[in-house]
């Protein structure tokens, strides 16, 4: 993606907030705070462009907690020495999402299939980085938290593997060194993610030095295995690199990953013995699309089995072996993981209609036993005064921390050091205020408003030139970008996309819980006044 630096339009002037070696005068401070308040709450009134819920009230119950430093440093399941933590609350929030995403509850005597996760300090970016870091280390054969050796030495691989004809004849029970000689790619994961993935995924690959299929292909000068039939309809060649490889896994027009291309690319690298790291999307950033994780996994599993990657024995330390997957499937559910479970329920209760009679709800969670980790933002669907999010996985996929710091009095199993302890209260407030059925009713309300918005915009686009589109069950509607003043007034997010080889400048709006029919109508009126519909 080319980065163009635009001059940003700001209304608040830096000088208002200038600080120096003198204490600020009372008058200057009051003016600064008053302008700040006016600006921020003014913009909030017309906020329409990002997947952020502005309908929040944490002031009523939690204003006191701005005067205490809450810190959940370390593992959420051990309280630790830093006593001003909210880990008891955090654990209940995690339990809620474990259940919502069909993960296994934690037993009093911990089982390896039990859930494990934590509330991140950043947004979903941290949860994605942690998921991909865990996937990388797991596939590179690093030490897991649960010592597989202690759990009885696995003498035999599971039946699923025994039944499978391994095309690559790994000497599964030989030592790590020997295995390495036979297949140098065995501990070199290759990552796959679609062209609609969030930029945090691209960043994670770079930060974590994970080889993407495109980098590996370019390094090794491989010929791309995709033929015309493997590309989605209307795929633009601008998304190919100079060696004719797609830069990222091609997506369908609706923003979901194109499964035939994904499967073919995976087979290419699996046949060379590489473990496979996939980042699926559940609610893509721009188009709000949901990858059909279940269908993709069903088509990928036979390939993994064929090449001995479904389960394999790893020597994770000198003379110590365990059996683990040769793949890691992470689901970036920044937005969708929070509300799609309720859409699924609304469909079951016939509160919303299936988009067509063949529609199958795209299952993404731990009902798919091959899913390793899920990430979600807290400030998007739920709404939070600051970025927050959740990382969710299982005990058996936890990596052993690199150090065991006595200093914090609990295991250092999370990504950062200090963790935001206030975010747990934010999640808890949201969840404790609503019954399951109320969540269902809320998603139905939002779905209806999104459809209303789409229908209204579409009806005004008489010349059909404004590219107004909505992906099934997406909270976003995309369109040709309007004039700059409206982009600013409604905080619209813009994106440049190629469609049929032509570059287009899009903007989108997001229908979140604070958005009302009145706000939509006033946005459409502003578009009309600006001559938008006259093309
Ligand atoms: C699909 C997706 N993944 C990840 C992110 C990053 O999330 P955050 O901004 O919470 O770090 C976003 C943010 O828009 C997103 O849309």
Atom of ligand 1 nearest to the CA of 333: 1
Q: What is the pLDDT of residues 373-385, one digit of tens each?
A: 999 999 999 999 9
3-state SS class at 496? strand
Separation between Cα atoms, residue 126 and residue 128, nearest integer Å:
5
Q: What is the dihedral of CA 33, 37, 38, 42, to 10 degrees?
A: 160
Beta-carbon contacts of 483 under 8 Å, excluding residues fewer than 6 positions away, are 530, 532
In this predicted structure, the answer to whether residue 302 has a pLDDT above a threshold of 50 is yes
Ligand 1 midpoint to CA 332 (Å): 8
Ligand 1 midpoint to CA 198 (Å): 6
If pLDDT is split at 50, 70 and 90, which confidence band does 535 have? low
If pLDDT is split at 50, 70 and 90, which confidence band does 148 have? confident
- Ligand 1 touching residue 377 (CB < 6 A): yes
Q: What pLDDT is attached to residue 220?
A: 96
Tell me the Cα Rg of the chain: 25
Return the percentage of the chain with pLDDT > 70, whole number.
92
Write down the residue that tokens 């920044």 correspond to.
334
- Ligand 1 touching residue 285 (CB < 6 A): yes
- Ligand 1 touching residue 200 (CB < 6 A): yes
Contact criterion met (CB below 8 Å) for 164 and 302? no
Cβ-count burial 110-149 (b if 16+ within 10 Å, e if not)? eebebbbbbbbbbbbbbbbbbbbbbbbbbbbbbbbbbebe
More confident residue, 374 or 161: 374
Ligand 1 midpoint to CA 134 (Å): 19
Write down the residue that tokens 């790994």 correspond to.
170
Residue 427 in tokens: 């999640």
Separation between Cα atoms, residue 304 and residue 317, nearest integer Å:
24
Q: What is the pLDDT of residues 443-470, one digit of tens each?
A: 999 999 999 999 999 999 988 899 999 9
Q: What pLDDT is attached to residue 56?
A: 97
Q: What pLDDT is attached to residue 150?
A: 62
Q: What is the pTM of this model?
A: 0.93
- Ligand 1 touching residue 103 (CB < 6 A): no
In this predicted structure, the answer to whether residue 103 has a pLDDT above a threshold of 90 is yes
Q: At what angle do helices 293-306 and 259-270 cross, to 10 degrees?
A: 20
In this predicted structure, the answer to whether residue 507 has a pLDDT above a threshold of 80 is yes
Separation between Cα atoms, residue 163 and residue 340, nearest integer Å:
36
Residues in the chain, overall count: 535
Separation between Cα atoms, residue 381 and residue 389, nearest integer Å:
11
Contact criterion met (CB below 8 Å) for 208 and 136? yes
Contact criterion met (CB below 8 Å) for 369 and 298? no
In this predicted structure, the answer to whether residue 155 has a pLDDT above a threshold of 70 is no
Q: What is the pLDDT of residues 261-282, one digit of tens each?
A: 999 999 999 999 999 999 999 9
If pLDDT is split at 50, 70 and 90, which confidence band does 39 have? very high
In this predicted structure, the answer to whether residue 439 has a pLDDT above a threshold of 90 is yes
If pLDDT is split at 50, 70 and 90, which confidence band does 234 have? confident
Contact criterion met (CB below 8 Å) for 54 and 42? no
Atom of ligand 1 nearest to the CA of 128: 4
In this predicted structure, the answer to whether residue 4 has a pLDDT above a threshold of 80 is no
Q: What pLDDT is attached to residue 3?
A: 42
Q: What is the pLDDT of residues 183-206, one digit of tens each?
A: 899 999 999 999 999 999 999 999
* Integer angstrom CA distances of residue 157 from 191, 203, 327: 25, 36, 16
CA nearest ligand 1 atom 15, residue: 285
- Ligand 1 touching residue 131 (CB < 6 A): no
Mean pLDDT, range 390-413, rounded to an integer? 89
Separation between Cα atoms, residue 497 and residue 195, nearest integer Å:
11
Adjacency order of strands within the sheet including 502-510: 476-480, 502-510, 493-499
Query: Is the C-alpha dihedral spanning 108, 111, 115, 120 positive or negative?
Result: positive
Ordered DSSP codes for 320-379: EEEEE-SEEEEEE-TTHHHHHHHHHHHHHTTSS--SSTT------STTSTTEEEEEEEST
Q: What pLDDT is attached to residue 151?
A: 59
Q: What pLDDT is attached to residue 407?
A: 75
Long-range CB contacts for residues 210-214, cutoff 8 Å, separation at least 24: 210/132, 210/136, 210/277, 212/248, 213/245, 213/249, 213/265, 213/268, 213/269, 214/241, 214/245, 214/246, 214/247, 214/248
Q: What are the residues facing 281 on neighbouring strands? A: 332
Atom of ligand 1 nearest to the CA of 125: 11
* Integer angstrom CA distances of residue 288 from 35, 97, 194, 395, 406: 34, 21, 13, 30, 43
In this predicted structure, the answer to whether residue 246 has a pLDDT above a threshold of 80 is yes
CA nearest ligand 1 atom 14, residue: 285
More confident residue, 167 or 91: 91
If pLDDT is split at 50, 70 and 90, which confidence band does 157 have? very low
Separation between Cα atoms, residue 210 and residue 246, nearest integer Å:
17
- Ligand 1 touching residue 332 (CB < 6 A): yes
Separation between Cα atoms, residue 507 and residue 40, nearest integer Å:
22
In this predicted structure, the answer to whether residue 337 has a pLDDT above a threshold of 60 is yes
Q: What is the pLDDT of residues 463-494, one digit of tens each?
A: 889 999 999 999 999 999 999 999 999 999 99
How many whole angstroms from its chain centre is CA 108? 30
Q: Which of 121, 125, 199, 512 best tests ligand 1's pocket when mutated (most atoms within 8 Å of CB)?
A: 125
Q: What is the dihedral of CA 180, 184, 187, 192, to 10 degrees?
A: -160
Separation between Cα atoms, residue 76 and residue 430, nearest integer Å:
20
- What values do phi and psi take at 338, rounded to 5? -75, -35
CA-nearest of 179, 178, 208 to 191 is 208
Ligand 1 midpoint to CA 464 (Å): 31
Q: What pLDDT is attached to residue 170?
A: 32
Q: What pLDDT is attached to residue 10?
A: 60
Ligand 1 midpoint to CA 267 (Å): 29
More confident residue, 6 or 442: 442
Q: What is the pLDDT of residues 43-89, one digit of tens each?
A: 999 999 999 999 999 999 999 999 999 999 999 999 999 999 999 99
Average pLDDT, the chain: 92
In this predicted structure, the answer to whether residue 174 has a pLDDT above a threshold of 50 is no
């Amino acid at each position: 993606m080319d980065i163009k630096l635009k001059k940003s339009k700001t209304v608040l002037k830096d000088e208002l907030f200038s600080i120096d070696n003198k204490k600020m005068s009372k008058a200057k401070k009051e003016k600064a705070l008053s302008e700040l308040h006016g600006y921020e709450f003014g913009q909030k009134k017309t906020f329409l462009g990002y997947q952020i819920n502005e309908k929040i009230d944490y002031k009523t119950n939690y204003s006191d907690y701005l005067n205490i430093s809450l810190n959940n440093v370390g593992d959420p399941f051990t309280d630790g020495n830093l006593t001003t933590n909210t880990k008891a609350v955090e654990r209940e929030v995690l339990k809620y999402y474990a259940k919502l995403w069909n993960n296994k509850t934690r037993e009093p005597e911990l089982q390896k299939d039990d859930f494990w996760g934590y509330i991140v300090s950043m947004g979903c970016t941290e949860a994605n980085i942690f998921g991909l870091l865990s996937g990388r280390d797991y596939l590179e054969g690093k030490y897991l938290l649960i010592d597989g050796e202690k759990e009885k030495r696995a003498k035999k691989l599971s039946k699923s593997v025994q039944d499978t004809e391994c095309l690559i004849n790994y000497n599964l029970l030989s030592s790590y060194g020997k295995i390495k000689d036979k297949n140098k790619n065995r501990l070199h994961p290759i990552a796959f993610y679609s062209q609609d993935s969030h930029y945090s995924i691209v960043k994670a690959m770079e930060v974590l030095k994970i080889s993407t299929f495109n980098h590996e292909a370019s390094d090794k000068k491989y010929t791309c295995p995709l033929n015309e039939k493997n590309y989605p309809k209307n795929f633009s060649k601008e998304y190919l690199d100079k060696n004719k490889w797609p830069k990222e896994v091609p997506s369908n027009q609706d923003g979901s990953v194109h499964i035939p291309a994904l499967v073919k690319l995976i087979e290419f690298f699996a046949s060379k013995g590489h473990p496979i790291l996939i980042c699926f999307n559940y609610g893509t950033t721009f188009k709000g699309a949901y990858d059909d994780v279940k269908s993709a996994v069903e088509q990928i599993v036979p390939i993994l089995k064929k090449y001995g990657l479904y389960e394999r024995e790893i020597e994770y330390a000198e003379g110590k072996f365990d059996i683990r997957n040769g793949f890691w499937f992470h689901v970036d559910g920044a937005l969708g993981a929070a509300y799609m479970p309720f859409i699924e329920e609304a469909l079951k209760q016939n509160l919303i209609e299936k988009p067509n009679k063949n529609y199958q709800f795209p299952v993404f969670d731990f009902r798919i036993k091959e899913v390793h980790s899920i990430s979600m933002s807290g400030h998007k669907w739920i709404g939070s005064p600051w970025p927050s999010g959740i990382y969710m996985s299982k005990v058996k996929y936890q990596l052993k921390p690199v150090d065991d710091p006595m200093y914090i009095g609990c295991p250092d199993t999370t990504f950062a050091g200090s963790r935001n302890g206030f975010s747990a209260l934010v999640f808890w407030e949201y969840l404790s205020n609503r019954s399951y059925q109320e969540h269902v009713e809320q998603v139905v309300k939002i779905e209806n408003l999104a459809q209303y918005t789409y229908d209204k915009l579409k009806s005004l686009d008489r010349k059909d030139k404004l590219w107004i589109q909505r992906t099934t069950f997406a909270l976003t509607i995309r369109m040709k970008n309007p004039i700059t003043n409206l982009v600013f007034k409604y905080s619209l997010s813009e994106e440049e996309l190629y469609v049929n080889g032509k570059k287009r400048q899009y903007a989108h709006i997001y229908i979140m819980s604070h958005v009302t029919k009145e706000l939509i109508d006033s946005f459409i009126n502003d578009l009309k006044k600006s001559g938008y519909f006259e093309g």
